[in-house]
Structure 1
């Protein structure tokens, strides 16, 4: 990497450390302070946290690669993001008035302790095996490729980067609570947006522009029914993304993720009131 790259990374790292240290010095008096950041978050902090937490290395690397290999139909899973409106306008009032901090806690109040245990167990296992595992793998891969280091101290640098990411994130999340997650996300969101935009522009420039990309992708057949890489809606006999199956499947997963997943809901519940949460 060039000197400018190191300077940019260094400035970002210092800014991130500064935010974390500042947040960790804030006094936390109760569970609401720890789990919900004191319930004083504005819509900007909530939105930035949801965006930065949802969009990560697994998207910039994993989903980008999936899109490049399977085509536009992969976007079905992300289109269901509109369902976060249901969270704000339908579910937030229920969650807020129940005075809960977690989704397992909500189930316990709504049903029984057994349902709380079941959801907590399933959530932890699924997080580790799906989202956390994928994110850590992609993050470790990014660090290895960016720094250009294969081994360090006789250890594959991928493992050092991956484990390091887990430890650093765990430390500032455990000691800083939800507030540290919110404020670091505010810092990360504009960087993610700007970085993604730069990658898009440079990629299209290298390829020859939008029209060239559409020409290439339109010529790649993905099934025997006339669909190409650019088709979002494919024939219902498509083996991978039949339009009916993709629509229903992505809707079910989207409803779970955007309206009931602790990963998203906890950030919305940190709002100072329902109005901020809905915004």
Structure 2
């Protein structure tokens, strides 16, 4: 870690703290203010929040690592991101007119209380086992590698970083509500984009350019059918990414995630009107 690294991290931390303090000091009159940021979010806040919430350590480490080991076919899962346009142009009117705060609440109004309970339980369990666990694990690894600390106070620094991330996120989310999530996302989005772009450029420079990467990856076969790491569409006999299975499977999961998952939909519900919500998507 160089001095400039510490300066950048310090400036980001101060900006983050400043935003959180400012949001917490604002008066929240009702549950709409808390859960949906007062329903007055603009398209830029909605879009930034969706982007920053979707892209995290599980992408920058996990998905990138999976792509490096298995090839381009892994991109099937992220290509389905176009489905968020279905959320904006098809589902937003239904969600907005129902005036709900959560997807379980929407199911209760549409069907019955039992459906609300079932979705709530499934969502909580799946978040903990898939989304939260992976994000926290990858985040802990990042902090351990970046700071180069193996142990602190006799404790593995990975656990300190992972638990610290959970506590910090929980504190500003609990006290600031949805508004704190929206405004911190506006800060995080350009940093994620700029940081990823810098890593990309430096990586290509170290490797020798795009052509060199394609030459190396194109020479690596990934199955008995002769598909290489650079091919997005693989043989239907591929054990990991048969093109038909990858296409249908990622489409089903993508539809659920981008159009019905509380993690994404709550950002859209915070919009001041349908136009802003749709622009955000």
**Separation in 1, partners of 2:224, 2:163:** 44
Which residue pairs with 1:152 in the alignment?
Answer: 152
**Separation in 2, partners of 1:154, 1:55:** 32
Which residue pairs with 1:240 in the alignment?
Answer: 240
- The SS at the match of 1:37 is helix
Number of residue-to-residue matches in the alignment = 279
Which residue pairs with 2:182 in the alignment?
Answer: 182
Which residue pairs with 1:88 in the alignment?
Answer: 88
Deviates more, 1:250-259 or 1:220-229: 220-229
Which residue pairs with 1:103 in the alignment?
Answer: 103
Segments of 4+ in structure 1 off by > 4 A?
none
**Separation in 2, partners of 1:85, 1:7:** 38
- The SS at the match of 1:172 is helix
Q: Deviations over 1:27-59 (max 9, x none)?
A: 100111000000000000000000000001110
Taking the TM superposition and a 5 Å limit, the aligned residue runs for 1:1-279 are 1-279=1-279
- The SS at the match of 1:91 is helix
Unaligned runs of 5+ in 1: none
- The SS at the match of 1:105 is helix
Q: Deviations over 1:213-252 (max 9, x none)?
A: 0000000001111210000000001010000000000000
- The SS at the match of 1:228 is coil
**Separation in 1, partners of 2:272, 2:181:** 16
Unaligned runs of 5+ in 2: none
**Separation in 1, partners of 2:3, 2:185:** 26
TM-score (norm 2): 0.99
1:209 CA displacement: 0.2
**Separation in 1, partners of 2:78, 2:4:** 34
Aligned CA-pair RMSD: 0.4
TM-score (norm 1): 1.00
**Separation in 2, partners of 1:90, 1:105:** 19
**Separation in 1, partners of 2:49, 2:127:** 18
- The SS at the match of 1:117 is helix
1:85 CA displacement: 0.4
**Separation in 2, partners of 1:85, 1:5:** 37
- The SS at the match of 2:240 is coil
1:170 CA displacement: 0.1
**Separation in 2, partners of 1:31, 1:233:** 47
Q: Deviations over 1:139-197 (max 9, x none)?
A: 00000011110000000000000000000000000000000000000000000000000
